[in-house]
Amino acid sequence: MTGQKAAKQLEQLAQQIDHHEERYRAGEPEISDAAFDEIWDSYRQLADELGVDARQRVDARPGADHSDGFVTVEHRIPMLSLEKLSPNRRDSHGELVSISDQLDAWYLRRRKDLDLAEDAALELVVEPKIDGISASLLYEKGRLVRAVTRGDGKKGDDITRQVRASGAVPERLGKRGNFEIRGELYWPRSAFGAYNEKLRASGDKTIVNPRNGCAGMMKRKDPSGLGDVGIAAFLYQVAWAEGIQLPETQSGVLDWLAELGAPVYSDEFLRAGNADAAFEYCEGYHERRLTLEFDIDGMVIKIDDLSCYDRLGGTGHHPHWGVAYKFPPEQKPTKLLGVSVQVGKSGKLTPVAELEPVFVGGTQVSRASLHNFVELERKDVRIKDTVLVEKAGEIIPQVVAVVPELRPKGTCRIKRPADCPTCATAVVEEDIFIYCPNPECPDQVRERLRHFASRIAMDIEGFGAVLVDQVVSALDVSRPDQLFSLTTEQLSGLERMGKKSADNAMAGLAAAKERGLSKVLTGLSIRHVGTSMAEDLATHFEAATALLSFAERYCDGDDDAVQLVAPDKSTDRGVIEGLARKSADSIFAELNSAQLRGIFEGLRAAGVRLDVLESQLVSVEGVDGKTFVLTGTLPTLKRTDAGDRIKKAGGKVSGSVSKKTDFLVAGQDAGSKLAKAEKLGVNVLDESTLLKMLGD
């Protein structure tokens, strides 16, 4: 490979890493952890071969895994990922290296690093690897003062408000000393299932899996109500301490944490005398994981003697004192019969593998994601190859690898499309993706209309995917507003659409006209506008006319408009919770486009409500425009219910007390928020006073 080609491949790997980290943070992963690890391994190997300076690599960049609207905090001690024992690792001859051989090699290197005699013991601790999100918790004199995500390992996002609101970790651990604890936040299966059932009952989109859901909960800008969803934690390491004497071993630290009252998975860790015993425990745990109340994706093997850690050191990527054993996902081989290309609502072209049907993860799979053409080329996937298929997050079928030794003669490389397969428009490339730039592309039109009619958006009963496809192809519908101009006669004339079905669809359209502005905004496929952002925009601007007028001012560079939603000072918050400058630029540019303005005009002409429903916003004097913070346990109301009532009365609910807070509603065990409110002179209310303000 030439130097220029290798440099381009490294850049593409970096772009893939950025993309998949973004999808993971959004709670919408496209690939499994194992596949992501493979991309990382390829990046690091190629970066080493090219001699890339460690400071210029992807994992050295500040701000990775950062979410807009959160304060970034530098870790006192970096939170590095552990080196992984990979089932796909090969030696220099291309032969697969077993997990047990990889563990033996790691153990022997550590013994050599420590200059141990042949008969000297080196005990290990084996702990289940909880499949959640890593966090660092700082306790001062036993009181929790800060919680931070792992982030890029050097800096993370401050999620103190979210962690406190969730109740996942103790507010106090002991009464003396300062210490930093590392742990994992997770969503127990029963609580996760109950939350998804509520989403299904209300017609909302369910969450893919507990880990992604937990990550999303911890990145809520408004943490009110988090105490009701059931997020929990396991704590497993003390990274730093002063003013206290810690045990000398990792197993002793786990016992010490348990004695303090910390949530520790203390019954399930093992002290192993050597690598063989550790491996045997990991293998035996594989089957047990299905019976647990929480997800685990492997085991963590650490040297027990903490005095060895500084001596062993590590790399810029991982410490040498521990290693991760990952449970291998179920993979099945099958034939790749062909590759089709899907066009999404944003115009993105995605290659999809057409497979000889294979049973994986409990279902038969005949199609699987290939993610993007850069990834397809990196894996050298060809037609007629035997490929390995697994389910990303046990949900999404994907091709993870080619079996090169089974490649037959006459395989065909897969070429990148030069034109959109649907409308023949010349494609454009942006980073690692290929797009059809034609907004009138039939596939884009179909996907946007399907989303507009879906339950999460306008919930147009009777307008499923089949009917949407028909009105696009037979009736030339291409914009959401055109749906409301359809007639019973037009619909009944479509294939398999009788008079009764047409009447039901027309009734669905009539009902959808009353959904209100937030549902319209959700349905328009505006980038960065999901359900929550749509509700926040609708609540603040109250009507589409005000929103579009503001968008015009914003795009014209009106400084008052810009500062209103995206202040220059990082410590100031805009009027829309969690709306940062980059997202605001994109949202208001799209709202100000001729295409969106035309759709809004068409919706208005069709009689679609483009304001906030009265049931969603009923202004109450003394509450309207005021900012409330809720804390403690209220006598009769859940905090989520109290927050909803405040919002419907025109008020705002924040998760933290500041000078901008108008009222603190305090229940039992109000804690630090009450103390801060009193210090700042914020008005403190009890539940009965709040109810009087709301008109009860």
Query: Helices in 289-341 by DSSP H: which ranges?
Result: 308-312
Q: Which residues contact 167 (CB under 8 A, 6 or more apart)?
A: 226, 227, 231
Instruction: Please check whether residue 399 is in contact with residue 389, taking contact to mean a CB–CB distance below 8 angstroms.
Output: yes
| Spatial distance between the Cα atoms of 421 and 351, rounded to a whole number of angstroms | 11
| Spatial distance between the Cα atoms of 104 and 665, rounded to a whole number of angstroms | 57
Catalytic member of 5, 8, 112, 129: 129
593 secondary structure, DSSP code? S
Neighbours of 12 (CB within 10 A): 19
H or E segment at 22?
helix 3-25
Neighbours of 259 (CB within 10 A): 11
Instruction: Please check whether residue 162 is in contact with residue 217, taking contact to mean a CB–CB distance below 8 angstroms.
Output: yes
Handedness of CA 664, 670, 676, 679 (dihedral sign): positive
DSSP E strand boundaries for 535-582: none
The amino acid sitting at 524 is L
Q: Which residues contact 221 (CB under 8 A, 6 or more apart)?
A: 69, 577, 578, 655
Structure-derived torsion over alpha carbons of residues 63, 68, 73, 75, reported in degrees to the nearest 10: -50
**Tokens of residue 267, six digits:** 């019954």
| Spatial distance between the Cα atoms of 231 and 220, rounded to a whole number of angstroms | 13
**Tokens of residue 386, six digits:** 């035997």
H or E segment at 62?
none
Instruction: Please check whether residue 86 is in contact with residue 171, taking contact to mean a CB–CB distance below 8 angstroms.
Output: no
**Tokens of residue 393, six digits:** 């997050």
End-to-end CA distance of the chain: 74
**Tokens of residue 39, six digits:** 């991309």
Neighbours of 696 (CB within 10 A): 8
Q: What angle do CA 21, 133, 394 make, to 5 degrees?
A: 70
Q: SS3 for 636?
A: coil
**Please, how many CA atoms are within 13 Å of residue 177, restricted to the half-sphere of its CB?**
14
Give me the long-range contacts of 577-581 (CB less than 8 A, separation at least 24).
577/69, 577/221, 577/222, 577/536, 577/652, 577/654, 578/68, 578/69, 578/221, 578/222, 578/532, 578/533, 578/536, 579/68, 579/69, 579/533, 579/536, 580/68, 580/69
| Spatial distance between the Cα atoms of 523 and 518, rounded to a whole number of angstroms | 9
Looking at the DSSP bridge assignments, the partners of residue 350 are 342
Q: Which residues contact 635 (CB under 8 A, 6 or more apart)?
A: 667, 668, 687
**Please, how many CA atoms are within 13 Å of residue 291, restricted to the half-sphere of its CB?**
4
Q: What angle do CA 224, 230, 234 make, to 5 degrees?
A: 115
Instruction: Please check whether residue 346 is in contact with residue 376, taking contact to mean a CB–CB distance below 8 angstroms.
Output: no
Catalytic: 391?
Answer: no
Closest by CA position to 533, among listed 225, 226, 220, 228: 220
**Tokens of residue 295, six digits:** 């997800």
| Spatial distance between the Cα atoms of 255 and 474, rounded to a whole number of angstroms | 69
Residues annotated as catalytic are: 129
